[in-house]
Chain A
Amino acid sequence: MSTNSRKKLLLMGRSGSGKSSMRSIIFSNYSAFDTRRLGATIDVEHSNLRFLNNMTLNLWDCGGQDVFIENFLNTSSQNPNSNNNIFKKCEVLLHVFDVESKEVNKDIEIFQRVLKNLHQFSPNVKVFILLHKMDLIQVNKRDELFKIMFDNLQKIANPFHFKLTGFATSIWDESLYKAWSSIICSLIPNISFYQQNLSKINDILNAREIILFEKTTFLVISSTDRKLITNNDELDPKRFEKISNIIKTYKQSVNKIRTNFETIILNGMNTSIYLAELTNNIFIMIVMDNQRNDDDSTAIEDENLILEDIKIARSLFEKVENV
C-alpha cells in the first residue's frame, strides 16, 4: 500500500570540511574518534537508507577536492541533461563549511556556483548549511561567528531565492544530531501525523515528555510534553540531541559484546524512563514523573500500564507509517 519515495540529498562542501565524518557518525555508527581514519572521498559516494518504512534517503556524499567539484559543475553546464548531472532532482542540499577554513572566498564561490546550478535544475531544493568544526572556536565567540557567517551566506543565496537554514555543528558534541534531525524531519511528508498522535497518547499517559526517534540513526522525529505544567522549560534545551548521542554511544558499547539493545527501563531520581521499539522504524521514549511511593508494588503496576500503552500506541503508529 505504501509507495516508496526516494529523496535525494546532496552533501557538498570543500575537501576536509567533515562531510564523510558526519555521514559515518549519523548513518554508520562511527564514533567521532573513528572519523580520523577516513580518506578523502573520490567522486561521489552514494548511500541508500531506508527511512520510516516508505522513504529512501538517497545520500550523495560529493568529494570536495577541487577536481571533483569542477567536474560536477562542468558536467552540469556542458551536458545539462546527462544522468551525470548531480544537480537534478535534488530534495535537499546540505552544504558544509569548515569554520577554520583558510580559503573562505573560495568556499563561498563554490557555494554560489552550486546554488546557481540547483536554482536551474532543482529549484525547490531545501538548502541547509552547516558551519562545522565549531569545537575549534572559543566558546564565547561561537554565536557571533555563526551569525556573521550565516548572514553572509544568506546574502549569497538571495539572488537564487533560497532561504537557508543553518546550524553550528561539531562531531565532538551533540550539535550534529540537532542539525540532522531537522534535516530529516523536513523530508518526512506526514510529520504532523506523528505529532498529533503523540499528543493523543500523552492525553492518556500524562507523561512529562514523549519522544520519537528514527531507529537506525536515533534522530528525533517528534516530541510532546505535558501542556499544563510548563516545568520542562527548566530542562536542558539540548536534551533531545544529547539523548540521541547517549543512545548511539550505548549502541556502540553493546555492539562490543556483539549484540544490540531492545529496551531501556530506568527508574531514576525524579523520573522513570522507558525506551522501546514502537514500530519497525521508530523508538519511543516515555519520561514519567516518579510518584515517590514507598510502596514498590504500585510502581510495578505503573510500569505494566506503560508497557501496555506502548503496545496500543504501536498499532496506532503502524497506521501512520503506512499513510
Chain B
Amino acid sequence: MEGHLIPDPTNENATILLMGLRRSGKSSICKVVFHKLQPLDTLYLESTSKPTTENFRSLINLSVIELPGQLNFFEPTYDHEKLFKSIGALVYIIDSQDEYLNALTNLSMIISYIYKVNPKINVEVLIHKIDGLSEDFRLDTQRDIMQRVGDELLDLGLEGLQVSFYLTSIFDHSIYEAFSRIIQKLIYELPALENLLDLLVQYNKFEKLFLFDVNSKIYVATDSSPVDIQTYEACAEFIDVTIDLDGLYGDVKDSDESKGNPTKCISRLQNGSVLYLHQMIRGLALVGLVRLDNTDQFSMEFKNALSLIDFNVNVFKKSLEDMWKNSRL
C-alpha cells in the first residue's frame, strides 16, 4: 500500500510552504503528519537555529521552511522570490498558547512581500496548539487573530487576498482536516473527483467516502455530504488496521501497486455498516462506510452487494487513472 505520489516536476504549483516563528510547531506538524511520529514524541524534537528546508513528497510537494527569527529572513543568499513564485499555498503557523503579536507582525511582513511576487497564492493560517486552550478561549483567540490580520491587510491595501484560518492541534485529527482542506484547494481535478465520488455514494449506499493519501491520512477528496470527525477517524484508522495486518505477513514496502491485485479490506460492523477499503493508484486508497442492512455476512446477498461495489469502484479507479494520465499533477 505504501507508495509516493510523485508530482510532475514541471508543475510546482502544488507545492506548499510552511512558515512560522520558532517553536510554533512546524517540525512537529511535519513529523506527525508525514512521518507518523507520535504527537507526544515531538517534545524531544530539536529546535533548529538557522533557516532549514525539508521536502516531503506526498500527493503534492511540500517544502517546510523554518525561520529562526523574524528579521534575517530576507537574507540575500536565498532566492525567496523564485521560491515564492513557485508555490501554491503559504501555510503560516501561529502558536496560540504563546504571545502571538510577534507572529502576526511576521505574517503580515511575509504576506506583503509574497503578494508582490505571487498574488494568486492561498494564505492559510493555522492557529495551532489549541489543545491547551479552553473551548471559549479558542473562539476568542480565533476572532482576535482574524480581526488583527484583517486590519493589517487593510492597512497594506491587500483586501483581495484569500486568507483562511484553521484551529489545529497535533493531538487530534484537526491537523489532518486542515491539511486536507488546504491541499484540496490545489488539486485542479477536485470538482471532477467529487462528482465521481458522489456518484459512487449514490449507487452503492455509501454513508461517507474518502479518497485518502495513505501515507499521511490526508484526504484529497470526499463526497459532498458533511465530514463527521468520528467517521473520518474510523476510516483513517481502518487504513492502519489494513496496513499493519498486511505488513505482518509480507513485506509491504516491497510492494508495487501496479503489480498483482490491489489491496482490499472490508470489515462488517454490528450496526449493519461495512468499512470498505480499496487501494487506488499513486498511494491513494478509497475508504468508506457503506450500509448493507439485514444481510447475513455469509449470505449470497451480502457477497453480491459487495461485488457490485467492487465493480463500481474499479470503474472509479479507471477514471482516476485516466484523469491522472492527462493531469498536470
Question: Which A residues are closer than 8 A to B by beta carbons?
Answer: 208-209, 235-236, 239, 242-243, 246-247, 249-250, 253-254, 256-271, 273, 276, 287, 290, 292, 296, 299-300, 304, 307, 311
Task: A256 to B245: give the CA distance in the assembly, Å.
Answer: 21
Q: Nearest 6 CB-CB pairs, A to B?
A: A270-B250, A268-B246, A253-B237, A259-B271, A271-B249, A266-B265
Cross-interface CB contact of A264 among B265, B273, B289, B307, cutoff 8 Å: B265
Cross-interface CB contact of B241 among A256, A258, A264, A271, cutoff 8 Å: A264
Residue of chain A at shortest CB distance from B256: A269
CB-CB under 8 A from A262, the residues of chain B are 267-270, 297
Residue of chain B at shortest CB distance from A247: B241
Which among B230, B237, B249, B250 has the greatest number of chain A C-beta atoms within 10 A? B249
Residue of chain B at shortest CB distance from A259: B271
CB-CB under 8 A from B230, the residues of chain A are 256-257
Is B255 interfacial (CB 8 A cutoff)? yes
Report whether A264 and B250 are in contact in the complex, using a CB–CB cutoff of 8 Å.
no
- Given A235-B249, A250-B237, A253-B234: 7 more A-B contacts, CB < 8 Å: A209-B249, A249-B237, A253-B233, A260-B270, A266-B245, A292-B261, A300-B303
Cβ proximity bits B233-244 to A, threshold 8 Å, 1 near / 0 not? 110011011101
Task: A261 to B272: give the CA distance in the assembly, Å.
Answer: 10
Tally the A-B contacts, defined by beta carbons under 8 Å: 116
Report whether A256 and B263 are in contact in the complex, using a CB–CB cutoff of 8 Å.
no
A307-B234 contact in complex given A259-B269, A260-B270, C-beta closer than 8 Å = no
Report whether A271 and B264 are in contact in the complex, using a CB–CB cutoff of 8 Å.
no
Task: A219 to B318: give the CA distance in the assembly, Å.
Answer: 41
Report whether A265 and B250 are in contact in the complex, using a CB–CB cutoff of 8 Å.
no
CB-CB under 8 A from A296, the residues of chain B are 261
Min CB gap A44→B, angstroms: 32
Classify the secondary structure of B's interface with A: mixed
Report whether B269 and A269 are in contact in the complex, using a CB–CB cutoff of 8 Å.
no
Task: A270 to B303: give the CA distance in the assembly, Å.
Answer: 22
Cross-interface CB contact of B269 among A261, A265, A266, A290, cutoff 8 Å: A261
Cβ proximity bits B181-210 to A, threshold 8 Å, 1 near / 0 not? 000000000000000000000000000000
Q: Which of B286-329 contact A (CB under 8 A)?
A: 289, 297-298, 303, 307
Is B260 interfacial (CB 8 A cutoff)? yes
Report whether B234 and A257 are in contact in the complex, using a CB–CB cutoff of 8 Å.
yes
A259-B248 contact in complex given A249-B237, A253-B233, A253-B238, C-beta closer than 8 Å = no
CB-CB under 8 A from B252, the residues of chain A are 269
Is B153 interfacial (CB 8 A cutoff)? no
Min CB gap B208→A, angstroms: 10
Is B266 interfacial (CB 8 A cutoff)? yes
A256-B233 contact in complex given A271-B249, A271-B250, C-beta closer than 8 Å = yes
Cross-interface CB contact of B249 among A247, A270, A276, A299, cutoff 8 Å: A270
Is B106 interfacial (CB 8 A cutoff)? no
- 12 of the cross-chain contacts (CB-CB < 8 Å) are A246-B241, A259-B273, A263-B266, A267-B263, A268-B245, A268-B263, A269-B1, A269-B263, A271-B249, A273-B245, A287-B249, A292-B261
Task: A260 to B249: give the CA distance in the assembly, Å.
Answer: 25
Is B231 interfacial (CB 8 A cutoff)? yes
CB-CB under 8 A from A235, the residues of chain B are 248-249
Residue of chain A at shortest CB distance from B298: A307
Residue of chain A at shortest CB distance from B260: A292
A273-B269 contact in complex given A253-B237, A254-B234, C-beta closer than 8 Å = no
CB-CB under 8 A from A276, the residues of chain B are 297
CB-CB under 8 A from B298, the residues of chain A are 307, 311
Residue of chain B at shortest CB distance from A267: B264
Report whether B260 and A266 are in contact in the complex, using a CB–CB cutoff of 8 Å.
no
Task: A253 to B244: give the CA distance in the assembly, Å.
Answer: 15
